[in-house]
Amino acid sequence: MIRTLLIANRGEIACRVIRTARRLGIATVAVYSDADTQAQHVKLADRAVHIGPSAARESYLDQVKILAAARDTGADAIHPGYGFLSENASFAEACAEAGIIFVGPPASAIRAMGLKDEAKALMQQADVPVVPGYHGSRQEGDFLRTRAYEIGYPVLIKAVAGGGGKGMRRVDKQIEFDDALAAAKREAASAFGDERVLIEKFVTSPRHIEVQVFGDSHGNAVHLFERDCSVQRRHQKVVEEAPAPGMTEGLRAKMGAAGVAAAKAVNYAGAGTVEFIVDGSKPLSDDTPFYFMEMNTRLQVEHPVTEGITGLDLVEWQLKVASGEPLPLAQDEITLCGHAVEVRLYAEDPENNFLPSTGTLHGLEFPEIHNLRVDAGVVEGDEVSPFYDPMIAKVIAQGADREEALDLLSDALSGTRVAGPKTNLGVLRRIIDDQTFRAAIFDTGFLDAWTPGQFTLSPTAGDLAIAAGLIALVESVSDEAEDLRDGAGLMAPSPWSLNDGFTMGRRPPTRYRLSVDGEAVERAVDWSQGGPRVVADDAMDAQADVSVTLPGGIEDGAYVLVDGIQRHIAFAVRDIAHVDGGAADSLARAPMHGRVVSILVSEGDSVEVGQTLAIVEAMKMEHAVKARIHGTVARVTAAAGEQVAQGALLIEIAAEEAAEAV
């Protein structure tokens, strides 16, 4: 058995692996970058080794540094987690050459399944059904456009070396193809160092159903049933559950057998996931068509739902197989019991196109409920960094059936509190309580059909957040806050510190200038024997789940959650400049903290509304910064490769009228 295990990863998966290793009596070694000096996986491991700067390519993706850390600490095995080096065949080979066990499949299997075009050809040979498309080597734009036309729109452009939705674009019309191809190639090159793509038919009403497989070095392979991961945004999974709703025993047997056939075709050993696209246009039946999409040659983020329905520890299985042991159970010994559902809690802003959100977790609390599991790599007080995936935690509920699991998860999300970065908590709550989702009527376009209003607070709920935050701030003010009086541009926060003719009968309402997520608003507070109340604010009587977090002094403001959606309410100690729409539209700013991938215009260039000016990348996703007015580029203040803060000015445009007047 492995004696000392180095985990070449971070966050919740590193913590997850460490806990199982500790239970098995295996010593653990963590690695960490500058950004993760105080990270939880560092604190949890028996030893920790610093491996470089915050950027992943200079730390967690540096094979030389990780192998050196393993040698220096006497580790005889490396667990790569998921992401980073987990599906890197050259790293698996380097481990073998160094005499270190790689807790994963052989390099040959990673390589065979790592390139989607070759993997699909291999699956066809193994009689595993694949989606119609072009998986060849030719990459000229004209050629691929022709193949897409022949396949028939809509099509998917997918990175050959891709995963996690990177380098993937859906194209519905031929006129959209060239732009989508360029974006997919650019994103694929950035994420995988390989810009090659393939073209596939887009299956109408697709459901994403995957099969968990396991193999060993003795020629055995089994499946551990299926998971449904159809609820996605931008091809990123949001909700995962096992088993798949509506699955028939006949279809389960066919998909399980196909998954095992795929594993055996590459002599697979360890944990893997065979992902299928299933026709969801009708209820599932024994004869429902399904198609091989790809195989992830590693442990998946959503593995806890499989553990929930099988009662097995998949990391334990990984470690035993890597140590040379046969699979612990045969296929007929693996049983399915109950239902499990997982949601991914991300630091992202649903009200701003789900852009990544960073900063200190001033509050993080999950309820303690039976059959609820929370896998997290952060705790209250930790920082959500712009350098890595924005996941805060996975919240997993298990029940005797789907309804019970969903009810439990709904209660758990209602009791979850997060303050600091914006999160998708409110969206998760709405999904789990959505009646269409509850009825299991969904496909991978489920969230695409939602209106923007379903991701945001209603005006009434927004007013409630302002009122709750203001009252909490006012009530928290002490005598030391006298500098926030009228002379600083703000009415005093407490009636007891005013000299305004206050009498025991009544005093005038106190007006406050506030910053609400950076926007200037004003509110008045009426003081009575019952305590402070926002004047003429019917929102205070609204029915909603509200929580307020005050992280420190009043200068830090209040973080208010209303039905899981956050507002930051702060006293505005100085006037907030009001910028008219035209002036604001002339300034192209970074939508989030990230790296400038490219600047696509120069000073003096003419630009049109909607034209892409720059590409900014954060947390492995690209965002196009587009022009909002016609005009001429007056100033470029950023360059490719720079790290920029959210809101940083990138490009200034002189409006068309102003340019003509010069």
Q: What is the pLDDT of residues 134-181, one digit of tens each?
A: 988 999 999 999 999 999 999 999 999 877 788 999 999 999 999 999
Q: What is the pLDDT of residue 248?
A: 98
Residue among 11, 20, 24, 14 nearest 79 (CA): 14
My answer on whether 185 and 253 are in the same domain is no
More confident residue, 500 or 348: 348
Neighbours of 263 (CB within 10 A): 28
Q: What are φ and ψ of residue 354, in 5° steps? A: 60, 35
- Residue 642's alpha-carbon distances to 54, 301, 598, in angstroms, are 14, 31, 9
In a domain, 576, yes or no: no
Q: What is the pLDDT of residue 497?
A: 46
Q: At residue 340, what is the residue type?
A: A
Q: What is the pLDDT of residue 575?
A: 33
My answer on whether 427 and 285 are in the same domain is no
| DSSP per-residue string spanning 623-638 | EEEE-SS-EEEEEE--
Q: What are φ and ψ of residue 167, in 5° steps? A: 70, 30
What is the CATH classification number for the domain harbouring 266? Answer: 3.30.470.20
What ranges in 29-106 are assigned the alpha helix state H?
Answer: 40-44, 63-73, 89-97
My answer on whether 117 and 266 are in the same domain is yes
**Phi-psi map region of 248: left, alpha, beta (phi>0 left; psi -120 to 50 alpha):** beta
Q: What is the pLDDT of residue 529?
A: 67
Give the span between the Cα atoms of 189 and 167, in whole angstroms: 8
More confident residue, 203 or 163: 203
Q: What is the mean pLDDT of the chain?
A: 89
The pLDDT tens digits for 53-100 are: 999 999 999 999 999 999 999 999 999 999 899 999 999 999 999 999
What is the CATH classification number for the domain harbouring 31? Answer: 3.40.50.20
The pLDDT tens digits for 502-512 are: 444 455 778 88
In a domain, 267, yes or no: yes
The domain in which residue 209 lies consists of 105-127+204-333
Q: Tell whether the torsion through CA atoms of 423, 427, 431 and 432 is positive or negative.
A: positive
Give the span between the Cα atoms of 168 and 156, in whole angstroms: 7
Q: What is the pLDDT of residue 394?
A: 98
In a domain, 187, yes or no: yes
Give the span between the Cα atoms of 244 and 284, in whole angstroms: 10
| 210 and 229 Cβ atoms separated by less than 8 Å | yes
User: Binning pLDDT at 50, 70 and 90, where does residue 656 land?
Assistant: confident
Q: Across-strand partners of 277?
A: 208, 291
The kind and range of the H/E element at 249 are helix 249-265
Q: What is the pLDDT of residue 222?
A: 98
User: Binning pLDDT at 50, 70 and 90, where does residue 483 land?
Assistant: very low
In a domain, 276, yes or no: yes
User: Binning pLDDT at 50, 70 and 90, where does residue 476 land?
Assistant: confident
533 is catalytic: no
3-state secondary structure of 165: coil
Where a domain ends, among 201, 223, 242?
201
| 276 and 251 Cβ atoms separated by less than 8 Å | no
Q: Where are the beta strands (DSSP E) in 572-619?
A: 587-589, 594-599, 606-607, 612-618
User: Binning pLDDT at 50, 70 and 90, where does residue 589 land?
Assistant: confident
Tell the residue number behind the tokens 């050629």, with chain if given: 143
My answer on whether 120 and 251 are in the same domain is yes
My answer on whether 192 and 304 are in the same domain is no
| 47 and 53 Cβ atoms separated by less than 8 Å | no
Report CA Rg, the chain. 27
The percentage of the chain sitting over the pLDDT mark of 70, rounded to a whole number, equals 90
Tokens standing for residue 319: 């470690």
The pLDDT tens digits for 23-58 are: 999 999 999 999 999 999 999 999 999 999 999 999
Give the span between the Cα atoms of 133 and 147, in whole angstroms: 8
Where a domain ends, among 571, 593, 617?
571
Tokens standing for residue 223: 């499946």
Tokens standing for residue 579: 């910028």
| 158 and 198 Cβ atoms separated by less than 8 Å | yes
The pLDDT tens digits for 392-409 are: 999 999 999 999 999 999
Give the span between the Cα atoms of 224 and 597, in whole angstroms: 41
Q: At residue 392, what is the residue type?
A: I
Query: What is the mean predicted confidence (pLDDT) over 536-546?
Result: 70
Count: domains in the chain: 6
My answer on whether 236 and 111 are in the same domain is yes
| 208 and 277 Cβ atoms separated by less than 8 Å | yes
Does the pLDDT value for residue 657 go beyond 80?
Answer: no
Give the span between the Cα atoms of 512 and 488, in whole angstroms: 12
My answer on whether 84 and 117 are in the same domain is no
Q: Where are the beta strands (DSSP E) in 34-144?
A: 47-52, 77-79, 101-102, 133-134
More confident residue, 658 or 590: 590
| 49 and 72 Cβ atoms separated by less than 8 Å | yes
Q: What angle do CA 389, 356, 167 make, to 5 degrees?
A: 65
Does the pLDDT value for residue 531 go beyond 80?
Answer: no
Tell the residue number behind the tokens 């006293």, with chain if given: 571
What ranges in 300-373 are assigned the alpha helix state H?
Answer: 303-310, 314-322
Q: What is the pLDDT of residue 538?
A: 61
Where a domain ends, among 571, 598, 613?
571
Query: What is the mean predicted confidence (pLDDT) over 623-638?
Result: 90
My answer on whether 498 and 598 are in the same domain is no
Give the span between the Cα atoms of 203 and 156, in whole angstroms: 9
Give the span between the Cα atoms of 6 and 102, in whole angstroms: 10
Q: What is the pLDDT of residue 367?
A: 97
The kind and range of the H/E element at 144 are helix 141-151
Tokens standing for residue 135: 């998986």
Q: Where are the beta strands (DSSP E) in 455-518?
A: 510-516
My answer on whether 444 and 564 are in the same domain is no
| 12 and 299 Cβ atoms separated by less than 8 Å | no
Tokens standing for residue 283: 């209820």
Q: Where are the beta strands (DSSP E) in 436-590?
A: 510-516, 519-528, 531-534, 546-549, 558-562, 565-571, 587-589
Does the pLDDT value for residue 332 go beyond 80?
Answer: yes
In a domain, 484, yes or no: yes
Q: What does DSSP assign to residue 326? A: P
What is the CATH classification number for the domain harbouring 626? Answer: 2.40.50.100
My answer on whether 428 and 531 are in the same domain is no
Query: What is the mean predicted confidence (pLDDT) over 124-129?
Result: 92
Give the span between the Cα atoms of 47 and 61, in whole angstroms: 20
Does the pLDDT value for residue 584 go beyond 70?
Answer: no
Does the pLDDT value for residue 581 go beyond 70?
Answer: no
Tell the residue number behind the tokens 């509850």, with chain if given: 438
| 228 and 192 Cβ atoms separated by less than 8 Å | no
What is the CATH classification number for the domain harbouring 189? Answer: 3.30.1490.20
Low-confidence winner among 206-215, 258-267, 291-300, 554-563 (lowest mean pLDDT): 554-563
Q: What is the pLDDT of residue 556?
A: 83
My answer on whether 258 and 115 are in the same domain is yes
Three-state secondary structure of 375-416? EECCCCCCEECCCCCCEEEEEEEEECCHHHHHHHHHHHHHCC
What is Dmax (Cα atoms) for the chain?
89
In a domain, 87, yes or no: yes
In a domain, 79, yes or no: yes
Q: What are φ and ψ of residue 377, in 5° steps? A: -110, 5
Does the pLDDT value for residue 501 go beyond 50?
Answer: no
In a domain, 95, yes or no: yes
My answer on whether 181 and 275 are in the same domain is no
Query: What is the mean predicted confidence (pLDDT) over 513-538?
Result: 81
Kindly name the residue from 10, 207, 227, 298 that is annotated as catalytic: 298
